[in-house]
Chain A
Amino acid sequence: MANLGILWIVLLPLFGAIINGMAGRFTSKRVVSVIAVGSVIGSFFLALNVFFDLTDLRAAGSEANLTFDLWRWFELSVPTVHGVTEVPVDVRFVVDELSSVMLLVITGIGSLIHIYSLGYMHDDDGFARYFAYLNLFMASMLILVLASSFPVMFVGWEGVGLCSYLLIGYWYETPAYAAAGRKAFIANRIGDFGVIVGMLALMMVSGSFEFEAINAAAPGMQRPFTLGGAEIGTFATVAGLFIFLGCTGKSAQVPLFVWLPDAMAGPTPVSALIHAATMVTAGVYLCCRISPVLLESSVVLSTIAIVGTLTALIAATIAVVQKEMKKILAYSTVSQLGFMFAAVGVGAFAAGFFHVFTHAFFKACLFLGAGSVMHAVGAHGDANILKLGGMKDRMKVTRWTFLIATAAIAGFPLTAGFFSKDELLFGAASVAMGDVLIPQWVGWFVLVGLFLAATMTAFYMYRLYYLTFTGDYRSAEKAEGGDDHAHDEDEDDAHDDDHDDAHDDAHGHDDHGHGDHGYRPRPKESEISMTFPLMVLAFGALVVGFLGMPHALHLPNWWGGWMSGSMGNLPGMGPHDHVENMTPVYVAMGLGLLAFFIGCGVATVKYRDKNEDTFTTALPKKLYAFLFDKWRFDEFYGATILRFNRGLAVLAGRIDQSFVDALLTKAPAWIAMRLGWLFTRIQVGVVHAYGLVLVVGMFGVGWWFLYPHANVEIDSVGAESANLTVGRGLGYEFRFDLDGDGNFDVPDQPSRVFIDLADDITNQEAMRVVALVRAAIAPTEWPSDRSGLGALIDREHKVYEMAPPTEALPDLRLALERAERVDEVRWENAGEAFGTQTNAELRFDAEDYQGFALVVGVLRGEPDEYELGHEPLLLDESRLGPGWSRAQEDEEEIPVAIWINEDGEVVVKPNSGAVRYRGEAMEEEFTIAAGEAAFFGRAPIRVAPIVETVVEVRNAFGNVDRETIAITLNPAPEATATNSQGARTATQAAARLAEVTR
């Protein structure tokens, strides 16, 4: 099968997860390692293969994507703006420019991090569990990027969220870590709601969940979106904002970013892979996926740009004052994600996604470097940089790779971060100085905000580097540990005590028994499985930037050209557009360089070879505390949302205790107890009393057996016939009077039929009399060929005597030809005998009808029956099913009146002022003949004949029970007009109706 490799890219890690998850704990670590790492590396090579397939395809000039169809997941029949549409959802994987690059990032960096994890997690007890989660994450993330439609992408979206939760809470024995996992999960739920709403809004316009169809339908997204009659914007705006809400959750933007810093509770490779390189960039990926839709709404783009810039700024200010390696990197990640969204918001999708790509390298390298340091010093949760220092001589590889990645993220010229950040700033500057969809002030805001954020980025990253790797190792001697701790408290005195305690607690858990607060006195460089990925990633951080050099300077920009196949662009910002105005180019480059030199310069002066944090602590104490507590976002949420929910929970608890537990459980218990007491009164303990009950019961049973009990059920009712079954019993025999004429329809064959001819038959006249006998029970059709039946008789004989034809069963119905010559028909038979047959069917003729009922059927459920008469029967709209309404709610008028007129017809007269069908007044009065059906709105109404049937049951004692039941026949609507049989029945029924009601 073509493109089978695409499927195996996902299946390999998925199988790895299943095998390691189920069998990993029973096998050795070596087997687990081979499966986990092997599957991901295999996936990487398949991804490479697929990527080169795609480049070949593009080189050949084809615009087609590589797809792999799996199966049709489900079909929805949903209302869209084009009416109700069938929307199929196929499970299909697509590789285009965007997803092919994402595939390489995920599998490539994923492979490196898997290898790194072998060393980092080697001594952990949950080795197999860890790799199962990690592989499952890979599979989910790959589904996310490969999916061709929103629902399938959402499976991956939720899958990575689940794995993120599992891995953040990986050391779940520590309650704080488990809580961090829950926090991430819940913050993501809020965003996921937005994704669902957004995808449905997009589907309503495009009639499809497929990204391709949605993007193709992007111009239609200008259609106004109305809610409750009010227009609240275009579809593009509503859908874009909701989807961006999902992105703020997944990609940790303001206001939902609070989970990401806490997510550092997970193992460091997880932070590198999930919470820096891949999962958190899913929001940016999604925005790029639907870029044509976002380009339809200036509101959405501006919102994204402003939120992204704010996030970049806020997170950078927080990162400046943090004291722990992973915390700084976490806020740095939030900040860098803000950069990416700011770029998306100014329409520079390719630039934003380029930053995703370069960021994956240097941020993964930084996290893994931090992990390497922590591994070396024996810190497992996080490492306080004030207790580190001087690592550069102890860990050479880690130091150099970390320095390279720091330079890259800070924007050192010609590194990856330099180029991608330059593209971002160029996008913002173009908007600020150009005339495009987005307001210019947004462009200025983004430009200035990103410049400030980039300056702080350079500063805090070099601060982190210098404090960790230069100066003296401040945990070298055990005795120094205490001193360091004293430092801590000096610096923290702006905080409340709670906060400090919480930090110290966390350290206690992190250390895993490596001393109270100090680290290992003699850290050594980590093993090769950890340093190898560092080197690869650092190399990447150096060189990948050259893929996207600024084309405005006429440098080759492979990235922009490649991505243009999958993403939209603002006019003038395409990868091949000639840039007229060179000012934004120089502004962007100048600001980028300025930011690097200011940030890096200040940090170098203040922190190089220093052992204390003298600079940030010099900030005003209140400001420092405010920043350190990440702008008190958590406290704000705690005081508002959480407090409200807690109050709700307390209220629910009170209700549970005072109502459910008190009343609903105790009241039935009390009743049961009293009833129990009551029933114990009968238990007198006297044997004779029990014996008496036995004897009385015996008489009761005997009495019941003495008399039969008729129990008739109607199996089916047709237009002219009905089917009955009588319940059996010991020694029961049955007889039926199915047409209710007072004569029992004997189930045995009559012995003789006598026909008296009329007196007016002349001597000379002879006539052929044919007696046709038809069974009342299980009747057959009347035979059509009557020749050869009957006998020729004359006046002499007068009475014709015949045995009924043997093929005709018992009877009871005779059809005589030329009946006007016949005086009387009677038959002798076995008397009104009982038989053993328990079921019976009878065809009814019009003369059997005992009355008529009006049957009103709604679409579902049992139809309602009403008695018909000359007095009007009044029905209101609730009896007529959906679509009916009253003109006014408080109307006292009669809605619909139904009665029988002089001609024996049933008249239906809607009171047009009072009742409406689908908003339209029903004016027409109409009639229905007996036995006919008609539609009134969508309610089928019919005039159904009623017949009465008598069933008698006799038991062995000779006692007889009699049951009379009325059967409402069920004239099929089509039988009334289309065939002659039906028409005949209807005519007879009409005549009978007139007769019955006279």
Chain B
Amino acid sequence: MVDLNAYLTLASLLFGIGAIGFLVRRNALIQLMSIELMLNSVNIVLVAVNRLHVDNHVGQIFSFFVIAIAAAEAAVGLAILIALFRLHKSVDTDTADTLKH
């Protein structure tokens, strides 16, 4: 059995990569992928910690919710992405500032 700390370390790494990727990259597609990465790191924590509670499956069940929401988010996000591309002929988020005051 792998130590809990290993899971937590892995999740932290994934979350950090996702957060930095989201903040640094300018390509909307990559940013969406970074968000997926962060969501999945949370899933890892939920499932790993839930192993400590033998009679309780809330953590595992909750991770399914996260997956479902991630799927919905991807659908909406990609739709926006395509619309953005049609507008600007680019998916660079720096150009997506037309709603700015």
Interface, chain A (partner B; CB < 8 A):
680, 683-688, 691-692, 695
User: B23–A685 contact, CB under 8 A?
Assistant: no
Additional A-B contacts beyond A691-B23, A695-B19 (8; CB < 8 A): A683-B101, A684-B97, A684-B100, A685-B97, A685-B98, A686-B93, A688-B24, A695-B23
**Which B residues are in CB contact (< 8 Å) with A688?**
23-24, 26, 93
The answer to the question of B99 belonging to the interface, with a C-beta cut-off of 8 Å to chain A, is: yes
- Min Cβ gap B40→A in Å is 17
> Whole-angstrom distance between the alpha carbons of A513 and B31 in the complex?
82
The answer to the question of B78 belonging to the interface, with a C-beta cut-off of 8 Å to chain A, is: no
User: A685–B100 contact, CB under 8 A?
Assistant: yes
> Whole-angstrom distance between the alpha carbons of A301 and B93 in the complex?
95
**Which A residues are in CB contact (< 8 Å) with B94?**
686-687
The answer to the question of B96 belonging to the interface, with a C-beta cut-off of 8 Å to chain A, is: yes
> Whole-angstrom distance between the alpha carbons of A686 and B28 in the complex?
12
> Whole-angstrom distance between the alpha carbons of A680 and B101 in the complex?
7
User: B101–A687 contact, CB under 8 A?
Assistant: no
> Whole-angstrom distance between the alpha carbons of A403 and B31 in the complex?
105
User: A686–B97 contact, CB under 8 A?
Assistant: yes
User: A691–B99 contact, CB under 8 A?
Assistant: no
List 21 A–B pairs whose Cβ atoms lie within 8 Å, in order of A's numbering: A683-B100, A683-B101, A684-B100, A685-B96, A685-B97, A685-B98, A685-B100, A686-B93, A686-B94, A686-B97, A687-B28, A687-B31, A687-B93, A687-B94, A687-B96, A688-B23, A688-B24, A688-B26, A691-B23, A695-B19, A695-B23
**Which A residues are in CB contact (< 8 Å) with B93?**
686-688
User: B22–A691 contact, CB under 8 A?
Assistant: yes
**Which B residues are in CB contact (< 8 Å) with A687?**
28, 31, 93-94, 96
**Which B residues are in CB contact (< 8 Å) with A691?**
22-23
**Which A residues are in CB contact (< 8 Å) with B99?**
685
**Which B residues are in CB contact (< 8 Å) with A686?**
93-94, 97
> Whole-angstrom distance between the alpha carbons of A687 and B31 in the complex?
10
User: A692–B23 contact, CB under 8 A?
Assistant: yes
**Which B residues are in CB contact (< 8 Å) with A680?**
101
- Nearest-CB residue, chain B, relative to A689: B23
- Nearest-CB residue, chain B, relative to A688: B23
- Min Cβ gap A867→B in Å is 53
- Min Cβ gap A690→B in Å is 10
- Min Cβ gap B61→A in Å is 20
- Min Cβ gap A459→B in Å is 85
- Min Cβ gap A401→B in Å is 84
Return the 6 tightest CB-CB contacts between A and B, nearest first: A685-B100, A685-B97, A680-B101, A687-B93, A691-B23, A683-B101
> Whole-angstrom distance between the alpha carbons of A930 and B22 in the complex?
68
* Interface hub of A685, A692, A695 (most chain B Cβ within 10 A): A685
- Nearest-CB residue, chain B, relative to A687: B93
Instruction: Name the interface size band of chain B.
Output: 10 to 19
> Whole-angstrom distance between the alpha carbons of A555 and B3 in the complex?
127
- Min Cβ gap A211→B in Å is 74
> Whole-angstrom distance between the alpha carbons of A692 and B101 in the complex?
19
- Nearest-CB residue, chain A, relative to B34: A691
**Which B residues are in CB contact (< 8 Å) with A684?**
97, 100
**Which B residues are in CB contact (< 8 Å) with A683?**
100-101
- Nearest-CB residue, chain A, relative to B22: A691
**Which A residues are in CB contact (< 8 Å) with B28?**
687
> Whole-angstrom distance between the alpha carbons of A684 and B28 in the complex?
17
Chain B 6-31 against A: per-residue CB contact (8 Å), 1 yes, 0 no? 00000000000001001110101001
> Whole-angstrom distance between the alpha carbons of A695 and B24 in the complex?
13
**Which B residues are in CB contact (< 8 Å) with A685?**
96-100
> Whole-angstrom distance between the alpha carbons of A686 and B96 in the complex?
8
- Nearest-CB residue, chain A, relative to B99: A685
**Which B residues are in CB contact (< 8 Å) with A695?**
19, 23
**Which A residues are in CB contact (< 8 Å) with B22?**
691
- Nearest-CB residue, chain A, relative to B94: A686
Query: Restricting to B60-101, which residues have a CB under 8 Å from any CB of A?
Result: 93-94, 96-101
**Which A residues are in CB contact (< 8 Å) with B31?**
687
- Min Cβ gap A678→B in Å is 11
- Min Cβ gap A768→B in Å is 51
- Nearest-CB residue, chain A, relative to B92: A687
> Whole-angstrom distance between the alpha carbons of A980 and B50 in the complex?
60
> Whole-angstrom distance between the alpha carbons of A686 and B97 in the complex?
6
- Min Cβ gap A957→B in Å is 15
- Min Cβ gap B96→A in Å is 7
- Min Cβ gap B37→A in Å is 14
- Nearest-CB residue, chain A, relative to B98: A685
- Min Cβ gap A196→B in Å is 60
> Whole-angstrom distance between the alpha carbons of A680 and B26 in the complex?
23
> Whole-angstrom distance between the alpha carbons of A221 and B96 in the complex?
89
- Min Cβ gap A133→B in Å is 60
> Whole-angstrom distance between the alpha carbons of A687 and B94 in the complex?
7
> Whole-angstrom distance between the alpha carbons of A685 and B31 in the complex?
16
**Which A residues are in CB contact (< 8 Å) with B98?**
685
- Nearest-CB residue, chain B, relative to A682: B101
**Which A residues are in CB contact (< 8 Å) with B97?**
684-686
- Min Cβ gap B25→A in Å is 9
- Min Cβ gap A324→B in Å is 71
- Min Cβ gap A264→B in Å is 66
> Whole-angstrom distance between the alpha carbons of A199 and B62 in the complex?
77
**Which B residues are in CB contact (< 8 Å) with A692?**
23
- Min Cβ gap B35→A in Å is 10
> Whole-angstrom distance between the alpha carbons of A692 and B31 in the complex?
13
- Nearest-CB residue, chain B, relative to A698: B19
- Min Cβ gap A810→B in Å is 30
- Min Cβ gap A922→B in Å is 69
- Min Cβ gap B92→A in Å is 10
> Whole-angstrom distance between the alpha carbons of A684 and B19 in the complex?
20
- Min Cβ gap B73→A in Å is 14
> Whole-angstrom distance between the alpha carbons of A684 and B22 in the complex?
17
- Min Cβ gap A693→B in Å is 11
- Min Cβ gap A4→B in Å is 73
- Min Cβ gap B82→A in Å is 17
> Whole-angstrom distance between the alpha carbons of A683 and B100 in the complex?
7
> Whole-angstrom distance between the alpha carbons of A419 and B77 in the complex?
102
- Min Cβ gap B3→A in Å is 20
> Whole-angstrom distance between the alpha carbons of A827 and B101 in the complex?
70
- Min Cβ gap A700→B in Å is 15
- Nearest-CB residue, chain B, relative to A684: B100
> Whole-angstrom distance between the alpha carbons of A695 and B20 in the complex?
10
- Nearest-CB residue, chain B, relative to A683: B101
> Whole-angstrom distance between the alpha carbons of A691 and B19 in the complex?
9
> Whole-angstrom distance between the alpha carbons of A686 and B99 in the complex?
10
* Interface hub of A680, A687, A695 (most chain B Cβ within 10 A): A687
> Whole-angstrom distance between the alpha carbons of A691 and B34 in the complex?
12
- Min Cβ gap B34→A in Å is 10
- Min Cβ gap B20→A in Å is 10
> Whole-angstrom distance between the alpha carbons of A200 and B11 in the complex?
84
- Nearest-CB residue, chain A, relative to B24: A688
> Whole-angstrom distance between the alpha carbons of A391 and B88 in the complex?
94
**Which A residues are in CB contact (< 8 Å) with B24?**
688
**Which A residues are in CB contact (< 8 Å) with B26?**
688
- Min Cβ gap A251→B in Å is 70
- Min Cβ gap A331→B in Å is 73
> Whole-angstrom distance between the alpha carbons of A688 and B25 in the complex?
9
- Nearest-CB residue, chain B, relative to A692: B23
> Whole-angstrom distance between the alpha carbons of A695 and B100 in the complex?
21
> Whole-angstrom distance between the alpha carbons of A695 and B22 in the complex?
10
> Whole-angstrom distance between the alpha carbons of A691 and B31 in the complex?
10
- Min Cβ gap A51→B in Å is 83
> Whole-angstrom distance between the alpha carbons of A680 and B100 in the complex?
9
- Min Cβ gap A705→B in Å is 15
> Whole-angstrom distance between the alpha carbons of A685 and B22 in the complex?
16
> Whole-angstrom distance between the alpha carbons of A740 and B26 in the complex?
59
> Whole-angstrom distance between the alpha carbons of A684 and B99 in the complex?
10
- Nearest-CB residue, chain A, relative to B101: A680
* Interface hub of B28, B96, B101 (most chain A Cβ within 10 A): B101
* Interface hub of A684, A686, A692 (most chain B Cβ within 10 A): A686
> Whole-angstrom distance between the alpha carbons of A688 and B19 in the complex?
11
* Interface hub of B24, B28, B98, B100 (most chain A Cβ within 10 A): B100
